[in-house]
Amino acid sequence: MTRTLVAFHAHPDDEALLTSGTMAKAAAAGHRVVLVVATDGALGLAAEEFKGEGATDGADGTDGTDGTALADVRLAEARMSAEALGVARVEWLGYADSGHDGPIPPDPPGQVRFCRAPVEEAAERLAAILRTEQADVLLSYDAAGGYGHRDHVRVHEVGARAAEIARLSSNSQLPRVLEATVPRDTIARAVRLAAKVHRFPDEFDPTTFERSFTARAEITHRINVRAHISAKRASMRAHASQASNDGSQSGDRTLAAFLRIPRPLYDVVFGREWFRDPSLPRGGADGIRTDIFEGLP
């Protein structure tokens, strides 16, 4: 039978890194796939060419642009990524990017920074999509938000609550929530391997991955996506603004560095995706699952 998968992400481009292979795999198998992004990604770093004419420095707490906003560019990139993956629907929850570091900027006119949004309000917005789509599986983030970005932490909180609301309204056990993550030791090893052949940007701290994401023993699902690696790579390429250099650092941005990895090594590094089902016992060697829809009613 066909299922519906909803992938909930903080910013345009997050889906490319964490869940694009799983999304492409589900779509190729005939399942309906929906991408929901919480924020417009307007505070992401990008070269001036992506910010439109009359770009400012963003010191007023806006996205730093006049005319064509970076937010518009990034949401368009999300739609391009979705097309490459076979996604049927793309939705933006309407929130503004909160930024990663420092004080939270003022809210833009008519918008709220996602990390300031009340969890219940944001969860109701997402739950409405889950109900309309009759979602079977919701992809979200772990409690740490992967590497700790405040918008990612809020995705975890909002995703968990939205699933509860959707279940209560439908008197069902669905949607199943799977927290997109990476085994800490696996990604740390992959980063060390990649660093031998590519130079990461100065702001990239490889030791971050030794403190982030999820312990291997907590993983419940490991999905082989090598058959869909071309779609995953196309999804990454779609987010050209986030592979650009904004002049504040030397060398490649992280996404650009990933795309410069030679294809055989790229397939090894990005050929699997991992999830944790908080309702299940720890994964372990004997309990790992290889299908996100396995065991659904």
Q: Which residue ranges form the domains of the chain, and what is each CATH number? A: 4-287 (3.40.50.10320)
State the pLDDT at residue 50: 61
Average pLDDT over residues 227-238: 97
Tokens of 6: 């909803």
Dihedral over alpha carbons 182, 183, 185, 191 (to 10 degrees): -10
State the pLDDT at residue 77: 95
Say yes or no to pLDDT of 163 above 50.
Answer: yes
Average pLDDT over residues 32-57: 72
Write down how long the chain is. 297
State the pLDDT at residue 44: 76
Residue 36 pLDDT level (bands cut at 50, 70, 90):
very high
Q: Distance between CA atoms of 70 and 54, rounded to whole angstroms?
A: 12
Q: Distance between CA atoms of 214 and 230, rounded to whole angstroms?
A: 26
Nearest to 20 by CA among 77, 71, 69: 77
One-letter amino acid of 99: G
Which of the two residues, 200 and 142, has the higher pLDDT score? 142
Per the CB < 8 A criterion, the answer to whether 17 and 273 are in contact is no
Average pLDDT over residues 269-275: 94
Tell me 69's DSSP state.
-
- Condensed to tens digits (0 to 9), the pLDDT of residues 9-22 reads 999 999 999 999 99
State the pLDDT at residue 55: 40
Average pLDDT over residues 136-150: 92
SS3 217: helix
Average pLDDT over residues 162-172: 95
Residue 238 pLDDT level (bands cut at 50, 70, 90):
very high
Measured CA distances, 90 to 22, 65, 279 (Å): 16, 24, 27
Say yes or no to pLDDT of 182 above 50.
Answer: yes
- Condensed to tens digits (0 to 9), the pLDDT of residues 73-111 reads 999 999 999 999 999 999 999 999 998 878 999 999 999
Which of the two residues, 148 and 291, has the higher pLDDT score? 291
Measured CA distances, 65 to 47, 72, 111, 211, 292 (Å): 12, 11, 16, 34, 40
State the pLDDT at residue 199: 72
Say yes or no to pLDDT of 54 above 80.
Answer: no
State the pLDDT at residue 102: 82
Average pLDDT, the chain: 86
Per the CB < 8 A criterion, the answer to whether 289 and 220 are in contact is yes
Average pLDDT over residues 246-263: 71
Say yes or no to pLDDT of 62 above 50.
Answer: no
